[in-house]
Amino acid sequence: MAASNGSEDTQASVKTVVSITTVVQALATMCVIFPSAIAPELARAFGVPAALIGFQVSLVYLGAMMTSVIGGLLVRRWGALRTSQWALGFAGLGLALAAAPSLFVFAIGSVFIGFGYGLTNPSAAHLLMAVSRPENRNIIFSIKQTGVPLGGVAAGLAAPSLALIFGWQWAFAAGAVVTLVFMAVIQPFRLDWDRERDPTVTIRQNPFGDFFLIWRHPALRRLSMAAFCFSAVQVSLTTFAVTMLVEDLAFGLVAAGIVFSVLQVAGASGRVFWGGVADRLRDANKVLLITALIAAVGGLLTVALDQETGQAVIYAVLILFGLSAIGWNGVFMAEIARLAPEGRIGSATGGALVPTYCGVLVGPLTFAGVFALLGQYTLSFGVFAFVSIAGFFLVLAARRVMA
């Protein structure tokens, strides 16, 4: 499946790999974001404050962190395609469990969704690196990473409408069915794509080896720490945007879901755009610096929003915010793959995602704490602008190490 110049078969392979890895990412992300997209409805159903959805998201990414740390080993043992199927299986099962009318089972389902989400990137990185070249690597990885905001679009459009028409539990069940069906659809590719799997590899060999691989490499370590900051901002935006729109800006739930979908489209567009810029400049690090600064500006502009603000302005601010705060991931993953030691792309990706998911784990909890102090979601996003600035300086430190 290695890339070559000009072959029609190779082009077909690239399109197929990118398409499947993007859909896997989108479905896993959809499962993650479904609860956030109807947070006010869930809050009423369970009798808890809507801000507590941040704790649910943290459970998801706790599960993701647990599987991402061994993702490289699982790719080597099972193969990248089989690992992707496991990702969908865990995510779909988790969303189905979350439909139970019990906070305890809902929490268990959230962790299972995380198990699946944590396996998406190590498996995709292995497949994408095999069909990409240096001159198109950033755009290919970024197209795949559009699966994250596209999954958010699916959740933002489907979850509120399904929840209002059929109830939130049936909305979760529908998302689970779609995810599990696609797990079966991609089975025919397994024989060809997983030829390099090694059944002798075991987790007992070195379960934390992927993380230590990242930590021993100065540039990878600094980039991963920057991703901690960026992911904290990103997941706080995707987690609390709907609740901010409903509670601070007086939007209805369906109208807020539409704005949320536009936000995610901006993120998807940003991933492709920034990937293209990185390939054109041949400097992914510089692009990460730019996105960090724009995300900080987006957070600061959110402070100015209130119920008197025109909808066009609200859309514009959130589009700018989404373009940057959601648009950095593909360039980051391509840079990690580029800097990875030979034959350790899946391991480097999995290891880099440990700090990334730590940021996702800490981000919503910290944001909820800031909200508890300030009482406004708009002001809380302004505070998080400084988290984006911290990420800027960590990328700058990585750049100096690579120079």
Q: Which domains does the chain have, with CATH numbers?
A: 8-192+213-402 (1.20.1250.20)
Which pLDDT score, from 0 to 100, does residue 211 have? 66
Coil/strand/helix, residue 97 = helix
Residue 30 has pLDDT above 50, yes or no: yes
Tokens encoding 165: 């028409």
Residue 19 has pLDDT above 50, yes or no: yes
Q: Which residue has the higher pLDDT, 45 or 104?
A: 104
Lowest-confidence pick of 123-127, 210-214, 320-324: 210-214
Give the H or E element holding residue 73: helix 71-78
**Which pLDDT score, from 0 to 100, does residue 180 have?**
96
52-70 pLDDT tens trace: 666 777 788 889 888 887 8
* CA 332 to each of CA 189, 249, 310: distance values in angstroms, whole numbers, following the listed order: 27, 33, 34
pLDDT of amino acid 46:
81
Nearest-5° angle of CA 151, CA 196, CA 185? 40
| Strand segments (E) across 167-210 | none
Higher pLDDT: 212 or 249? It is 249
Select the more confidently predicted residue: 58 or 165: 165
Measured on CA atoms in the order 187, 189, 193, 197, is the torsion positive or negative?
Answer: positive
Ranges 22-31, 104-113, 357-366: which has the least confidence: 357-366
- Quickly list DSSP for 229-295: HHHHHHHHHHHHHHHHHHHTS---HHHHHHHHHHHHHHHHHHHHHHHHHHHHHT-HHHHHHHHHHHH
Residue 4 banded pLDDT, cuts 50, 70, 90: very low
> 77-86, 166-175, 349-358: which range is least confident on average?
349-358
Distance between alpha carbon 278 and the CA centroid of its chain, in Å? Answer: 19
Cα-based torsion angle of the residue sequence 298, 304, 307, 308 in order, rounded to the nearest 10 degrees: -120
Residue bearing the bigger pLDDT, 203 or 196: 196
Q: What 3-state DSSP class applies to 355?
A: helix
Token pair 């507590």: residue: 52
Chain length of the chain: 403
CA dihedral 322, 326, 332, 333 (to 10 degrees): -140
What gap in Å lies between CA 333 and CA 250, rounded to an integer? Answer: 37
- What is the sign of the dihedral through the CA atoms of 31, 77, 121 and 217? positive
